[in-house]
Amino acid sequence: MQNFDLSPLFRSSIGFERMQRALDAATRLDNAANAYPPYDIEVSGEDSYRISLAVAGFSEGDLEITAKENSLVVSAEAKTEETQEKQYLHRGIARRAFERRFELADHVKVVGASLDNGLLNIDLVREVPQALKPRKIEIATTNAKALESTAA
């Protein structure tokens, strides 16, 4: 694994600590525990996204979605009563507990979630406040006004 020293970048930057933490987390190796459940992240529009997690065997009651600040946490815990009543010849559908974390950019909000055919779909949208959107600044020419007043 290659380590990157980002300290020169952060010497002149203020407020980017979250980005540094995200980069550190991204450089860590994924292991088998972090690979479950498999998921897709889809761009579904200019400012909209969809996260789809394969959660076969889980019901709505088993799943929990929590959005807090710039973090989204999806977790699940299978009910043990159902599995104890059944006998299996082969058990290939993993219903083990999991917790999957996603870091969200500023102004990305969760707008909905649905469970369809074993896929948990979480819809997100980026809503940049009007005050933060770029705006054109008009330039006033003070010299022209000064010339007009002196000529009169």
- The DSSP result for 42-80, as a single string, is EEEETTEEEEEEE-TT--GGGEEEEEETTEEEEEE---H
Tell me the C-alpha distance between 17 and 22, whole Å: 9
* pLDDT tens-place string over residues 86-98: 788 888 887 889 9
- Confidence at residue 96, expressed as pLDDT on a 0 to 100 scale: 86
Asked whether 26 and 6 are in contact (CB, 8 A), the reply is no
- Confidence at residue 121, expressed as pLDDT on a 0 to 100 scale: 97
- Residue 146 clears pLDDT 60, i.e. is over it: no
* pLDDT tens-place string over residues 57-91: 899 999 999 999 888 999 998 775 555 677 888 88
Strands 119-126 and 48-54, sheet pairing:
antiparallel
**Confidence (pTM):** 0.66
- Residue 44 clears pLDDT 90, i.e. is over it: no
User: Under CATH, which number does the domain 36-128 receive?
Assistant: 2.60.40.790
Q: What number of other Cβ atoms are within 10 A of residue 83's Cβ?
A: 12
- Confidence at residue 52, expressed as pLDDT on a 0 to 100 scale: 96
Question: For residue 42, what pLDDT band results from cuts at 50, 70 and 90?
Answer: very high
**Count of CA atoms in the C-beta half-sphere (13 A) of 99:** 3
Segment 25-35 shows an average pLDDT of 58
Where do you find CATH 2.60.40.790 in the chain? 36-128
* Pick from 10-19, 46-55, 82-91, 106-115: least confident: 10-19
Strand partners for 67 = 72
- Confidence at residue 32, expressed as pLDDT on a 0 to 100 scale: 46
Segment 16-36 shows an average pLDDT of 62
- Residue 129 clears pLDDT 70, i.e. is over it: yes
What is the Cα gyration radius of the chain? Answer: 25
